[in-house]
Amino acid sequence: MISIKNEIELVCVIVNYGLSKKIEKLARQNGSKYTSCVIAKGTSNTGIMDLMGLSDTRKEIVYLIMESEKVDSFLNELDSKYKFYKANHGIAFAISVSGLIGCHYNYCDDRSLEEKNMNDLITVIVDKGKAEDVVSAASKGGAKGGTIINARGSASDSPCQKIFAVEIEPEKEIVIIISESDKTDSIVESINKEMDLGKPNSGVLFVQPVKRTLGIQK
C-alpha cells in the first residue's frame, strides 16, 4: 500500500492566559496530533497603556502540528470562536515544517512549494533581563509589539527548553515578533544596533518566513 504524504505546518497561537486548553481541544478536533503550551508575556506599543504599565499581559503560546490542508479550516474556526480579528484577542501564524520526528504523520518535505510571504517571524534569544530591551529596539524599527518567553523558575540543572529546535537555556529569554516583510530589515537592524549582537555571547537573532497569519493588526 502506498502512503499518502502531506505537507505539514507548525501553527503557533498566542492567546491570553487561561485559553490554551480550549485552543488545544479545538486543534485536536481539527486533526492536530500534537499540541504543547508555554507561558509568555505579551507587549504592545499602545501609548497611554504603556504609560500606565498596563500593556504587559500574561500570555500562553500553543504550538501545534497540523497537515497543511487543515490549517485554513482551523484558523477560520479559531477566528470565528475567539474573534482574532479584534485587537488584543489573539495572534496565530503558521510556518512550513522541513523535518518531523515524533508525530504520527505521513510527512512530505516539498521545498519546491515556494510562496510569497507577507510576514516574517523574528526570533531573538538573549540573556535573562534583556528581553524588554529587545522589544524596545524592535519598536524603534517599526514593530508593533512582541511576545517574551521567560525561562525564569527553571533550575540550572534542568533540561533546556526547545523552541523551533533551538535549545533555550534557563538563564535565557526569547522574544518573538511577527513583522510585515517590508519592515523586517528595519526591525532587525534596530535590534542589532541596540543589542550589539555582533559581540560574542550577546544574543542570537533569526528570521523565518510565515505562511499564514491571523489576528495581526494593520
* Residue 174 three-state SS: strand
CA distance 72 to 43: 27
CB 60 within 8 A of CB 197: no
Q: What is the pTM of this model?
A: 0.70
97 vs 92, higher pLDDT:
92
pLDDT at 45: 53
Average pLDDT over the chain, rounded to whole?
79
Pick the closest to residue 191 from 180, 181, 170, 206 (CA basis): 206
pLDDT at 163: 55
Cell digits for 202?
550577546
| pLDDT tens digits, 31-67 | 998 888 888 887 765 543 343 343 457 888 999 989 9
CA dihedral 42, 73, 11, 21 (to 10 degrees): 60
| pLDDT tens digits, 160-193 | 555 555 555 557 888 999 999 999 999 999 999 9
Mean pLDDT of 207-218: 85
> What does DSSP assign to residue 107?
B
Look up cell 497543511; give the residue: 68
Cell digits for 184?
523586517
Cell digits for 83?
474573534
CB 212 within 8 A of CB 91: no
The HSE-up count of residue 52 (CA atoms within 13 Å, CB side) is: 7
2 vs 136, higher pLDDT:
136
pLDDT at 52: 35
